Amino acid sequence: MGALSTPTIIILSGLVLGIVMGATARGARFCTFGAVEELVLAGKTLRIRAWALAIATAMIMVQIMHQAGMARIDQVFYLQPEFGLIGAIVGGLLFGLGMSMVGTCGYGVLVRMAGGDLKAVFNFLVLGLSGYMTARGLTSLVKTNFIDSLTINLSAIGGQGIPNVLAGLTGTNADVLWLPTGLVIAGAVFVYCFRDPEFRRSRRDIAAGLLIGLSVAGGFFVTGTFGSDLFDPVRVQSLTYVLPLGETIVWLMTFTGSVLTFAIAVVIGTVGGAYTVAIYKSEFRWEGFDDMQSMRRHLIGSAAMGAGGVTALGCTIGQGISGISTLAMSPFISLVSIFAGSIFGLYWLMTGSAREAWLMLVGGQAE
């Protein structure tokens, strides 16, 4: 390792973490939308508990590393003083709605694409383009002028971390609250996961949750430790699957003038890991759209996911696991909004009526 440069170490680490993420998703059917769908439509909780275990695992590891000074999460954008409440809600709802139309999240798009799904290739291109435009292109004007202008500055309490809020309410030093807060929240999630006998017997789902959570923590460790190089610093970050898809497309188009980054390496590794497992399990199959209506739904859904994910500052992995593990407030709000948007979208697809879907979402009686 000592013979490798810091950028090389970071890129190789991103590639390895991506391979683990892709292989785990393909091998263990780890999918956030699939978990929500099974919970809402069938009342099954195995996959949602696996996903919750990933959150708890990442949270504990990240907070331990933060306590040890290894993760530098105080520098992540999730904990910036500007609290984007409106962005988290609007972006989360939009991403969740798009996710229901596509049938998976940005992470799942890569995994499906690696299995020969041509619909997912289409989703990858549209999602990446939409996300990149919302971050740095034409549609970024809407985000910048209308969404970002409504942020709430929380510098007075030290930032938007839950420990900052607790410190303000109790008069305690926020520095001593990070690890205890993470242990309490993660502990409650662990109890939820393992109180179910069926989940305790499911080694596949337990392994998937642990591997995903450790991979997210690994992302913060790599960028937080090796990225602190004074001569070649790298922004502290972990795994997310919205804007990096667009960055990967740009990198592929401008290879000779572009630099491979941690986020792009994660995307490439994810596809590679999922492809390897698909080949090993003889699951690689070419698939395409059934009809024009299906293609239209995927087009709108993936565009909504790209715009919504960037507006919410992350996806079900970027906000739902990476962001929440930092104990920032906006990821919790984004995640609730993503769930609400995806459930509404599920009901809409089932009934064909937005009104009936809304009534089902809020507990009313659909006609």
When divided into structural domains, the chain yields a total of: 1
* Distance of alpha carbon 149 from alpha carbon 360, whole angstroms: 33
Residue 346, token pair as written in the block: 């599920």
Residue 113 and residue 14: Cα distance in Å, rounded? 19
Instruction: Identify whether 140 is part of a domain.
Output: yes
| Residue 321 domain flag | yes
3-state secondary structure (DSSP) of residue 347: helix
For 41-77, the three-class secondary structure string (H helix, E strand, C coil) is: HHCCCHHHHHHHHHHHHHHHHHHHHHHCCCCCHHHCH
Predicted local distance difference test score (pLDDT) of residue 366: 54
In a domain, 228, yes or no: yes
Q: Is residue 166 a contact partner of residue 182, using CB atoms and an 8 Å limit?
A: no
Range of the domain at 285: 6-361
Token digits for 48? 């949602």
Residue 96 lies in a domain: yes
Sign of the dihedral through C-alpha 62, 7, 19, 239 = positive
Q: For residues 189 and 55, give the distance between their C-alpha atoms in angstroms, rounded to a whole number.
A: 8
Query: Quick one: pLDDT at residue 356?
Result: 92
- Residues (pLDDT < 70) of the chain are 1-2, 229-232, 364-367
CA distance 101 to 95: 10
Rg (Cα) of the chain, in Å, rounded? 20
Find out whether 235 and 226 touch, Cβ atoms under 8 Å: no
Q: List CB contacts of 62: < 8 A, sequence separation 6 or more.
A: 71, 73, 182, 216, 217, 220, 325, 326
Type of residue numbered 213 = G
1 domain-assigned: no
Distance CA(197)–CA(202), nearest Å, equals 9
Beta bridge mates, 152: 83
Q: Which residues contact 253 (CB under 8 A, 6 or more apart)?
A: none
pTM: 0.93
Confirm if 132 and 252 have CB atoms less than 8 A apart: no
Return the structure tokens found at 189. 């999630």
* Identity of the residue numbered 292: M
In a domain, 367, yes or no: no
**Does residue 200 form part of some domain?**
yes
62 within domain boundaries: yes
